[in-house]
Structures are given as C-alpha cells and as structure tokens.
Homo-oligomer: A and B are copies of this chain.
Amino acid sequence: MTPTPTTGPADAAAPPLGHDRARERAELLVEVLPYIQRFRGRTVVVKYGGNAMTDTTLAGQFATDMVLLRSVGMRPVVVHGGGPQIGELMSRLGMEPEFRDGLRVTDADTLDVARMVLVGKVNREIVSAINMHGPLAVGVSGQDAGLITAAPRDPSLGFVGDVSQVNPVIVERLLAEDLIPVVSTIGSDEAGQAYNINADTVAGAVAAALGAEKIVYLSDVEGLLADVHDPASLVRRTTVDDLEAQLASGRVQGGMIPKLTACIDAVRRGVASAHILDGRVPHVVLLEIFTDEGIGTMITDTREGDR
C-alpha cells in the first residue's frame, strides 16, 4: 500500500485556476476562519483504522488531513491498530489465529508478529504518507520512554494488555516541536514484558492524558446507529449518560463496545467531545472539524454547547 499524495507541491506545474475558482477559494478560506480560530492550539487525537487505512486513496487523504490540521495550528495525534494486517502476516507464516470472546489469544510468537506489523509496517506507512508533505511525523510505540504501562487483561489471553498508566511526556515533547506523533499500541509492564493493547482503548487513554479537545474514531460505519440494521437511525449527538445506559442495555455489540467505552472514559476525564466518524468518507475529519453541523456521532458530557 503506497498512499497517493492528494496534493502536489505548490511549485508543480498546474493549469492556472480560472478567476471564478480562485475567488471561490478565497471565500472558502474566509468561511473556515472561525473554525481555525476555535481549534487553534487544541489537541485532537484520531484513532485511525479500517477502510481509511487499507484504501490507498483514503490513506493519502487522511495523511493530508493530519498535515492540514497541524498547518492551521491544531495538534493532531494519530493512534492506530492493525488487526487485519496482523492476521495477514500470521497467515503468510502459517500461524493459526485463535480468538476468545473476540480477542486474539496472543502467545509470544503472535506478540512478536503483532509488534512487527504494528510498529514496523502499519506505523511506518502512516509516517511515510504524512512525511510526503514534509518531515512532520514521528512514529512512537507505547514502549518508548514509558508512554504506556500495560497490565495483562486475562491470563488465558496471553500477552493481551490493558492500559494501566499513560505517561504522555514523549508525545507532548513531539507536539511542542510541531511534529505529528503516530502511536502504535504496544505497551510494557513494569518488568519490560510487551503487550498488545486494543487501539480504541489506548486512543481514549492518550486523549485523556493529553487533555485533548477531541477524540475521533474512524470506523467503517456512519456512526452510532440507534438501530444497527438501519443506516437512517444515525445518532448525531448523545451524552455519556445516555451511552452508558445504552451499553448497560446490552444492545450495543462487537467492536463498537470498546469504542464507546473509550469515548465515555475520555469525556468523563475531561476531553470536550468524542466522535465516531465514517472513515470511508473522504476527508471526514475535515468535515467534522470545519463545519457547524459536523458529521457522524458526537458524544459530550451534557447536551449543552455547540453543534
């Protein structure tokens, strides 16, 4: 997968814009000014995965979006997973995946593969795609400088971990240098043993530790659906209290559970809003940040405030 850059360098030969198009461009800039002013200096953590990561065009657009956020003064942080890519290498190596309650049982060899894929392949591709716009991204793993301390989730799952502590200093230093940190979700316990941790969970914990303004999840659905079989039932805005009731009701299923749990945790710990967006929509992060009505599902502490 080599992402296609969606913007050429400014000095590339390009057909001149027509006069109308130039004027439209100026007007667009004026329209987005209030959004730039509102989010200037704010940290936005984006959990990146799914189609947005595997589709070459979408991946290039995502990289551009991250560079754009930074260029107008925001501080984006990317957190990524990579389950399918892990499965793919295991399959090439003839290893048999084993799942228990939807979680991959992770022995030492599987952990080794997971780490290679996440840190050495997926992270690298994201960093490369961003750095086509300049030397902006730096890959970080949860093991670097003690970023993520892990604890085993359940002995029967092997090296599957939970976040027990986040020390965000290394990420803050990179942000202070105007760099874009790209985080792989391998953590260590106190004894140095590595663990693979659910990326949705890590993203929320990192957002809380950084005092982020927003945590954004890119998924392969439009957002949270009131009725999972009805795309028209998109919940455009909800609160953490409502979400908790819904989780307690048992109606939410599958991969949406860790996402929603992480959203609730992050908002409860001070992140202003959490978002579940459809990563299949081009530039969906920009659509969320640079429009009043936003897109997808927005989760806040109370019903008050904008949107």
Contact = CB atoms under 8 A, between A and B. Distances in A.
A27 B127 CA distance: 22
A225 interface: no
Contacts of A11: 292, 306
Interface string A72-97: 11000000000000000100110000
A194 B3 CA distance: 13
A156 to B, nearest CB: 21
Contact of A22 (B38, B71, B132, B291): B291
A137 interface: yes
A33 interface: yes
Most buried by B among A65, A120, A141, A295: A120
Interface residues of A, number: 89
Interface string A263-276: 00000000000000
Interface string A190-202: 0110100000000
Interface stretch (A42-50, A109-117, A204-212): A109-117
A254 interface: no
Count this chain's copies in the assembly.
Answer: 6
Contacts of A290: 25-26, 29
A19 to B, nearest CB: 9
Most buried by B among A16, A30, A64, A306: A30
A280 interface: no
A219 interface: no
Interface stretch (A99-107, A245-253, A281-289): A281-289
A34 interface: yes
Nearest to A173: B177
Contacts of A287: 22-23, 25-26
Contact of A29 (B136, B143, B286): B286
Given A7-B34, A112-B121, A132-B192, 13 more contacts: A5-B192, A16-B292, A17-B292, A22-B293, A29-B290, A33-B133, A119-B123, A119-B139, A120-B121, A135-B147, A137-B144, A139-B139, A139-B143
Interface of A: 5-11, 14, 16-17, 22-38, 40, 61, 64-65, 67-68, 71-73, 89, 92-93, 112, 115-121, 123-124, 127-129, 131-141, 143-147, 167, 169-170, 173, 177, 179, 186, 188, 191-192, 194, 282-283, 286-287, 290-293, 295, 306
